[in-house]
């Protein structure tokens, strides 16, 4: 290890996971546009797992509540990735997570640790 910046592979993985979440969000924005405020719609999980096809039904209003900040994402329960985000709201059918931007070093350190 010569780098003081942590493990570049982890960094790359985190970036890919973040990109996957943004893709999910773009799909959901299109879904949202196709519905009125009072409707429910089926949204795709915005988690960072590749190939995740889980969907979550919630109202447009509830999805709007997820989107009150740019760093909040909709994920199915259990799809949160603790390395890159934090669950801030737990609902029956979905969780809301917030990007963990400020602690990449802590993240890299934690993922390098091996359980005894
Ligand atoms: Zn998912």
Distance from Cα 20 to the centre of ligand 1, integer Å: 10
User: Residues 27-39: pLDDT tens digits?
Assistant: 999 999 888 877 8
Which whole-number Å values give the CA distances from 113 to 19, 82, 106, 109, in the listed order? 25, 14, 11, 7
Q: At 15, list the tokens.
A: 């970036």
Distance, CA 78 to ligand 1 centroid (Å)?
8
Q: Structural domain boundaries of the chain?
A: 3-110
Neighbours of 40 (CB within 10 A): 13
List, for residues 37-93, the tens digit of each pLDDT value. 778 999 999 998 888 999 999 999 999 999 998 889 999 999 999 888 899 999 999
Which distant-in-sequence residues (6+ apart) come within 8 Å of 44 by Cβ? Answer: 24, 27, 28, 31, 52, 53, 54, 55, 56
pLDDT bucket at 111, cuts 50 / 70 / 90: low
Q: How far is the CA of 36 from the centre of ligand 1 (A)?
A: 25
Q: What is the distance in angstroms between the CA of the first residue and the CA of the last residue of the chain? A: 22
Query: Ligand 1 centre and the CA of 105: distance in Å?
Result: 25
Average pLDDT over residues 1-17: 72
């Amino acid at each position: 290890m010569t780098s003081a910046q942590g493990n570049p592979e982890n960094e790359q993985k985190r970036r890919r996971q973040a990109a996957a979440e943004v893709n999910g969000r773009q799909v959901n924005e299109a879904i949202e546009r196709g519905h009125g405020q009072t409707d429910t719609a089926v949204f795709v999980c915005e988690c960072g797992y590749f190939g995740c096809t889980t969907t979550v039904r919630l109202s447009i209003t509830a999805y709007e509540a997820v989107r009150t900040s740019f760093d909040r994402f909709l994920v199915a329960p259990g799809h949160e990735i603790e390395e890159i985000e934090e669950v801030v709201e737990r609902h029956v059918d979905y969780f809301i997570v917030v990007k963990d931007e400020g602690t990449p070093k802590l993240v890299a350190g934690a993922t390098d640790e091996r359980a005894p």
